Amino acid sequence: MFFRWDWLRPVLTAPIVPTLGPVHPDVLTVDLFEDTLRAAVTGDFLSYDKDRRWGGDKDETVLLGDVVHQPDHTLIPTLNRRGHGTVKVFPYGVRDSVVEEAAELAAKLAAVHDVDNARVVRPLDPETAHPRGTRIQLKDFTAGPCPAPGGPVRPVTDWPVAVQKTFAPFAKAMAADGLAFLHTRMQDGRCGPVLAAAVGDGIVGAIGPMEVRADAIGRPQLLPQYFAVLPEARGQGLGRILWRAAMHWGQSHGAAYQLLQTEVDGPSDRLCRSEGLTSLGFRHTAQV
């Protein structure tokens, strides 16, 4: 075993694991960190990696030989060759200087591996004052019912053909939110259903894909979705209806929970906070 849990556990301010992202606090064990090292050797997806659903090869791997693991802090660097390449360093430690060490390591490794981007990805605890970046939120489906919200929401394939055809221009308009990528996966038949809201004869919002898979301890998790509403259709409550429809779908299909990542103070963040989700902490990413 490479990692000492008595060193690592006290500095895990938020449940974020390199290459895997946020995990449920009950799943956060030394085994997850060890698994990322084994995956770096084999190049395979872990069975519970949420990115496995997209197929292909795992883009991001831990740089095994450059991990720093000490009693009061741990630095875990990863490499992603997609595009111009990115090195990320995840610093786990409570003293401020750990961020500086992480930045130095990220810059060094970016040069060594000849990639353009070097970043520090710092997990922060839920009580962080004036947080920036991404909030990690937990929806617990065992805490109470998630009733169907009604409204103009249904799976894309359940809308009339004329309405279905409007998904392509909608996805193109919301490409920055990942909907264009999602549309290609839908066309390939490589993802679960996508819920869409329509006004008149056109789709104006969507959330998906809807998929439930087991986490590292076998508990069913509703996987993250892409979620967007056209700017001109906002302010009508469609985003909330879409989100509640997705939560109803997840609970109805046996999910125990979902983890969501929302931009702090963004529309989705405000929506999730108003829906009573539990904040697990934050992830702040800084370019070096």
Stated as kind and residue range, the H or E segment containing 73 is strand 73-80
Residue 116 in this model has a pLDDT that exceeds 90: yes
Please tell me the total count of domains within the chain. Answer: 2
SS3 76: strand
CATH code assigned at 155: 3.40.630.30
120/183 same-domain check: no
Please provide residue 148's backbone torsions phi and psi, each rounded to the nearest 5 degrees. Answer: -65, 130
87/56 same-domain check: yes
Residue 278 lies in a domain: no
250-282: pLDDT as tens digits: 999 999 999 999 999 998 899 999 999 999 999
147/251 same-domain check: yes
Helices (H), the chain: 5-8, 30-42, 97-112, 161-164, 167-173, 179-188, 238-252, 267-274
Q: Render the burial of 136-156: b for 16+ CB within 10 Å, e for the rest.
A: bbbbebeeeebeebeebbebb
106/184 same-domain check: no
217/247 same-domain check: yes
SS3 271: helix
122/147 same-domain check: no
pLDDT band at residue 94 using 50, 70 and 90 as cut-offs: confident
pTM of structure: 0.92
182-213: pLDDT as tens digits: 999 999 888 999 999 999 999 999 999 999 99
The full length of the chain comes to 288
Residue 73 lies in a domain: yes
102/14 same-domain check: yes
